[in-house]
Chains A and B, each alone.
Chain A
Amino acid sequence: MKLKAFIGIDIGSLATKIVLISEGRLIDHRTERSTYDFKRIGHNLFDDLLKKNDLNREEVFLMSTGYGRNTIDIADDRVTEITAHAKGTQFFFPDVHSVIDIGGQDSKAIVISKKTGNVVDFQMNDKCAAGTGRFLEVMAHALEVPIDQFGDLALKSNKSASISSTCTVFAESEVISLFARGASKEEIASGIHRSIARRVAGMAKRIGVGPKLVFCGGVAKNPAVKKYLEEELGYEIETPEFPQLTGAIGAALIAQENNTN
């Protein structure tokens, strides 16, 4: 049977994203919390997508990516999130040179070949929450600020408190003591966002990222991290329309490429 569509599923540690692509166009997508039961969430999202789009299992190719890519047994193939993000960002920005992805549990920097569109180098942070969405979550909680307002709060301050700890646990106590010493919430929030931007930019510079740089992953929705990353890197960066979906889109595009030659 001829394939009618390509589905990419990106099973991250916090969120599972699924997209449906047909003839190179993004047709449909869903996002849900991954919970502890990756497999069930993945199956449900997949079934729902097929049903809503009136497709049979045999008419689609399912490519999995992300942290839980090996757990979903119905996938036809799998690819790492590094390769998937590189491909997915090219869907939005065909001339992308580099990618920074900050997700819930990790962050990565990727350099793409302008000639081939393939990954030429990458770097991932190492088993540490600093430089990830988790760091922001813990800090927002310590400051009692809803996470979706955290970035805007940081941008209200033109001063940034200095956060020197690179460890999330120590940084949390540092934040509390800054608070006790009378620093404003805005200043502290700004310092926290700067610290994550500095850490990720440092990692990215080590592999030679450059413009055009696309910032994706859940944290790309945070305006303060984006602004401070631009300041650290010294140039403007782009954010795609759906920054959380680039991995899933990339997986679907790779599935399409692999099956249409």
Chain B
Amino acid sequence: MDDLSLLSDLSLFLKEKKANGVKIVAYLAHDNIPEELLDAAGFFPLRMMFGGNDDLMDASHNFLPPSTCAFAQSCIGLYSTKPNIFSFLDLVDFFIVSNHCVSDICVSEIISKHFNIPRLDFYVPYTKNNSSLKYFKLELLELKKRLEAITGTEITNEKLFESINKYNEFKRVLLKVNELEILGSEKLKVLQRAMLYGPEFQPDLEKFIQYVRENPSSLLETSKDILFTGCSIFVNDNLVDLIEEGGGNIIFFDTWIGSHYSSQIINDSSIQTEKDPLDLLVLKFKDNIYGDHTVPNFLEQKVALIENYYQKYTKTKGRKLGVINHIIKFCDHISLLSSFLKERLQEKGISVLNLERDYSRANSGQLLTRIEAYLEMME
């Protein structure tokens, strides 16, 4: 299952969707976009989660300064160069303009405007007090109205409950993938595929989990275990291969592609008692302690989550665990907090490698040196 086959399969999958009259909504925002609402309206939510390379980053400079995050640059590069394997992006009917970060705001606006894709706005508050939760609900209502106007069909509560349950179930299965004891690269590919295809991938996920349980991997003894945090590893990025080449193995993805997404499960008792399904989406937003929108306690939560996992893992497995904090160059909120995160975890005896990089392949040698040196430190 390499990246190219993933992308060509996705292309076929999206073409089929279009042929069946399904509209595709793409977005960059890493969390808090209500995919259940899009699904209930009959749209297919497509996350932009594709990593870049030198050419894609260069191609974005007609639109963005090179000091924009490397991921955002690559997203623009994908649209402005349209590499063949990404031609499925032509199928996108709407682009959600959101505000996960400054790059998100700029890039989603640029894509919508310069590549003529009608926009849907969805702005997310940064805090979780009563007023911001009310505001979040208003945004949900706006989006709902907009989607209904496009399709001419009402999104009934019944449909929305159905979608919420569907995504809930899907995430429960996805959570189990992150816990499997397999090679990190294999796990990442499954997580990426699942997050691109959505709940329709659930039967394959279940089969995969079953297969791994029946055929446990024996690869893990020699490599060094890594908890991976910070920016996600997107499709087509070779970082996970570099980590494995250096002798490491990511055993847990504490990133948006990984536990942040799959942990956003709405509890069953709320689903049973809540009358308005939009309130369930508000609740999901409120309870999302994993995403970078957990202001003002983002750093505290992050330290606590990592420490918790670390203690549990080292105690139950009796193995050392390293932490790699991945910082995509110019991803400001991850980058600004990285030295504090490292300091705080080091105080607790947890060593951290802050790995800042862009998608340039030219510095893979230096990247590998940093990874290997960190793994040697763990010996």
Main secondary structure of the interface of B (DSSP, over half): helix
Taking the closest CB of chain B, its distance from the CB of A103, in whole angstroms, is 12
Whether B372 is near chain A, meaning CB under 8 Å from some CB there, is yes
Which chain B residues have a beta carbon within 8 Å of chain A's beta carbons? 339, 346, 351, 356-357, 360, 362-363, 365-366, 369-370, 372-373, 376-377, 379
The count of residues in chain A whose C-beta lies closer than 8 Å to any C-beta of chain B is: 16
Q: List 26 A-B contacts (CB under 8 A).
A: A67-B369, A80-B369, A81-B369, A81-B373, A82-B369, A82-B373, A82-B376, A83-B373, A83-B376, A83-B377, A106-B366, A118-B377, A118-B379, A119-B373, A121-B346, A121-B351, A122-B373, A124-B369, A124-B370, A126-B356, A126-B357, A126-B366, A127-B360, A127-B363, A127-B366, A206-B339
Does A3 make an interface contact (CB < 8 A)? no
Q: What residues of chain B lie closer than 8 Å to A120, measured between beta carbons?
A: 351, 377
A93-B373 Cα distance, complex, nearest whole Å: 21
Given A81-B369, A127-B360, A127-B366, are A119 and B377 also a contact pair (CB < 8 Å)?
Answer: yes
Tally the A-B contacts, defined by beta carbons under 8 Å: 39
The reply on A79 being an interface residue by CB < 8 A is yes
Residue-by-residue, is A75-109 near B (CB-CB < 8 Å gives 1, otherwise 0)?
00001111100000000000000000000001000
> A interface vs B, CB < 8 Å?
67, 79-83, 106, 118-122, 124, 126-127, 206
Interface pair A124/B376, CB less than 8 Å apart: no
Chain B residues with CB below 8 A from A79, complex form: 376
Chain A residues whose C-beta falls within 8 Å of the C-beta of B379 in the assembled complex: 118
Q: Which 8 A-B pairs have the closest CB atoms?
A: A82-B373, A80-B373, A83-B376, A127-B363, A80-B372, A119-B377, A80-B369, A124-B370
Partner of B376, one of A80, A106, A127, A206: A80
Q: Which residues on the A side are within 8 Å of B356 (C-beta)? A: 126
A contact residues around B357 at 8 Å (CB): 126
Beyond contacts A83-B373, A121-B351, A127-B360: 10 other A-B pairs, Cβ-Cβ < 8 A, are A67-B365, A80-B369, A80-B372, A81-B369, A82-B376, A106-B366, A122-B373, A126-B357, A126-B363, A126-B366
**A79-B376 Cα distance, complex, nearest whole Å:** 8
B357 (CB) vs chain A CBs: closest residue: A126
**What is the CA–CA distance of A126 and B354 in the complex, to the nearest angstrom?**
12
A256 to B362, CA, bound (A): 34
* A120–B350 CA distance with the chains assembled, in angstroms: 11
- Give the CA-CA distance A166 to B369 in the complex, in Å: 24
- Given A80-B376, A82-B376, A83-B376, are A124 and B339 neighbors across the interface (CB < 8 Å)? no
Bound Cα distance A23, B362 (Å):
40
Cα A127 to Cα B329 with chains together (Å): 12
Look across to chain A and name the residue whose beta carbon is closest to the beta carbon of B356: A126
